Structure 1
């Protein structure tokens, strides 16, 4: 999002005093985090069980990143109008509405997924700003790790349950499981409505180049976009790849749960380790290497080592998704700059990521094998490792604002 001449709001002190702080703050944060990817993780395990065609799976895989890209600017708008706390609460209410609509039929599944995607778009943009504003600087990495760990754990539990529930009842009953964490998220964020939003004090104008004209913003976008493309392509098609390799539908669903559990592990470790250092370039290269190892394992030994490769791939992708939040918080010079970097990277990155499931499906349809799609994802990751290096470190020079580079 362009950010030219603006008045910088006062940087509220980390962990600012608020009625809904302490345990309630952490509880609400965790409950919201548990819910954030639950709905999206259901599609892969359900696809073989529900008998959905390739077109349905492709659309359901495309809608979340497409919506999160198109509606990411709503997060910045919500922050300016009502603040991070209220923005996250109303986003959680929209999550409940979307989760409740999805089990009503195929049309409701599409429409509800759109609503969930819009809600998560707002959450994605606000979380790095919320963490920077409400927690001490030394806890930013830990809280971003808690966010990713909770997100992955919630998705893993539901992903493991959907196939057995669908076999016992129906895919609608399996999809309805997402309503429970959605309601808990809204309840957990409700106390944040009591937080008084600080009134900005007069401040000198901050002269800053539009973020779209800085190498930093585009490097962040490249890292986030490619990591997220790989994430959604894998999430949509891994169970089908494993079923085609000879695994049962239940085993493929279990391996998807292992993948999502790996997301939680990598999502916790990467930001905790990365936030402790000023230079995150080694962490960027590490998560790319782990992702490549997991994809090559799925390619070369999809049946024999499926749980291992799913776990490795999950750790790498989880690390990449969570590391982005640390990069937004660390590279931003103030709350407005963090929001602008986050909004641009997520708008462009999710729109790029939306092509992932369709790209994988098209390559599979053209070649009749999953080898080409998997190799294409590896190539994208390797290219992204070079493009992302600027995002991993601060370029500081005397008398220059790092946000202008």
Structure 2
């Protein structure tokens, strides 16, 4: 476990990464995206921040607050509906026209809307939480690879789990299987997101990819909840959930442990949630898998100024240290492992992911994703 004090100490040393860090916050107009962005602005030296969302009114308020926290920074709001991949591409073009590199891509876009399709014939919840996030990462990956002091992608997801073990132990349960056009289950879509990050890491092993599971916190939710008016009921289609069900649901249903009753988790203050996510977004505890300058681009040193002790390098989703893709819990622990006790902090998550890889799920999911990108936009990448 990484203590909050250790996280705060690390965050206070973000200035060691140099000035002019470029950060993109997708879903930065509320919740954990807003909180993390404010903490980043507070600690970074002359940062250039782009935040993307739908509410211009919220953006005006936030921009004033950011300028108050750090007058030396530059803050740009991009108003758009990220449920449409065409809008995602336009937002990326806007950023690329102004920047030559990106240090941090932090994604929290979410929605409470279910039961409808987008104008691009993608199921709305999946478009917001999966396709658009992966499209942002794919489009901006070359700019992340050009960075010289920090290269990181963080996607915040599955905040509904009240205990870290929940996301693994209830990943696939018979009573969770939908019979119609229902929203992606958080646990199932969690596995989908992690496998997609592993696919992206194959193309960019010099970038860190983190799938973060924050604790419940107050007063807001961890993703930007995007309301919209229903368009139409959607038929069952080839969504990632249907793909998951077809490829690996039936073979492993019988082997899954029964869901256990878990005690409720007290929500933490939103400011603390932002501090914890900022540590995840900037600490060298989570280095990229490889690259000639991994040490230079890993983030804030994991040596504690106060005690002289080192925070250990995290284990990746494959169970090995420093392998570039990480499942991270609210206390900074890596998926499936607790650095002090050696016991599973995220239950069977690494074992489950291993099983899915062996069933060729990662490749099949990625082929499905790029096929949808091509159908909607005409190209795999922008």
When the two structures are superposed, what TM-score results if normalisation uses the length of structure 2? 0.28
**Greater relative CO (CA pairs within 8 A, separation 6+):** 1
Which is richer in strand?
2
Which is richer in helix?
1
When the two structures are superposed, what TM-score results if normalisation uses the length of structure 1? 0.27
